Amino acid sequence: MLDENKKWGRLWGIGVGPGDAEWLTLKALRIIQAVPVVALPQNVRGGPGMAYGIIREYLQPTQKVLPLALPFVLDGEILQKAWHVAVEQLIPWLEQGQDVAFLAEGDISLYSTFTYIARTLQAQAPWVAIESIPGICSPLAAAGVLHTPLAIGYEKTVILPALFTLDELGHALDWAEVVVLLKLTSVFAQVWQLLKSKNLLEHASLVEWVGGPQQKIFPNLLDLADYKPPYFSILIVRRYPYVF
Ligand X SMILES: C[S@@+](CC[C@H](N)C(=O)[O-])C[C@H]1O[C@@H](n2cnc3c(N)ncnc32)[C@H](O)[C@@H]1O
Q: Name the H helices within the chain.
A: 26-34, 50-55, 76-95, 113-124, 138-145, 166-175, 188-197
Q: Is 234 in the site for ligand X (CB under 6 A)?
A: yes
Q: Is 20 in the site for ligand X (CB under 6 A)?
A: no
Judged by CB under 6 A, the chain residues 168 through 207 that form the site for ligand X are: 182-184, 207
Q: Shortest gap between Cβ of 218 and ligand X (angstroms)? A: 12
Fill in the per-residue mask, 123 to 152: x = in contact with ligand X (CB under 6 A), - = not in contact: --------------xx--------------
Judged by CB under 6 A, the chain residues 81 through 100 that form the site for ligand X are: none
Nearer to ligand X by C-beta: 9 or 41? 41
Nearer to ligand X by C-beta: 50 or 176? 50
Q: Shortest gap between Cβ of 2 and ligand X (angstroms)? A: 32
Using the rule CB under 6 A, which residue among 9, 13, 19, 41 binds ligand X? 19
Using the rule CB under 6 A, which residue among 86, 232, 236, 237 binds ligand X? 232
Q: Is 110 in the site for ligand X (CB under 6 A)?
A: yes
Give the whole-angstrom CA distance, residue 157 versus residue 191.
Answer: 17
**Total number of residues binding ligand X (CB under 6 A)?**
24
Q: At what angle do helices 113-124 and 76-95 cross, to 10 degrees?
A: 60
Is the CB of residue 192 less than 8 Å from the CB of residue 184? Answer: no
Nearer to ligand X by C-beta: 49 or 106? 106
Q: At what angle do helices 188-197 and 166-175 cross, to 10 degrees?
A: 40
Give the whole-angstrom CA distance, residue 101 versus residue 31.
Answer: 8
Edge-to-edge strand list for the sheet holding 130-133: 64-68, 37-41, 100-104, 11-15, 130-133
Is the CB of residue 99 less than 8 Å from the CB of residue 12? Answer: yes
**φ, ψ (nearest 5 deg) of residue 119:** -65, -40
Nearer to ligand X by C-beta: 110 or 121? 110
Using the rule CB under 6 A, which residue among 53, 105, 121, 218 binds ligand X? 105
Is the CB of residue 12 less than 8 Å from the CB of residue 132? Answer: yes
Q: Is 157 in the site for ligand X (CB under 6 A)?
A: no
DSSP conformational letter for 81: H
Quick one: which segment of 29-37, 56-64, 218-226, 229-237 binds ligand X (CB under 6 A)? 229-237
Footprint of ligand X on this chain (CB under 6 A)? 18-19, 104-107, 110-112, 137-138, 182-184, 207-212, 231-234
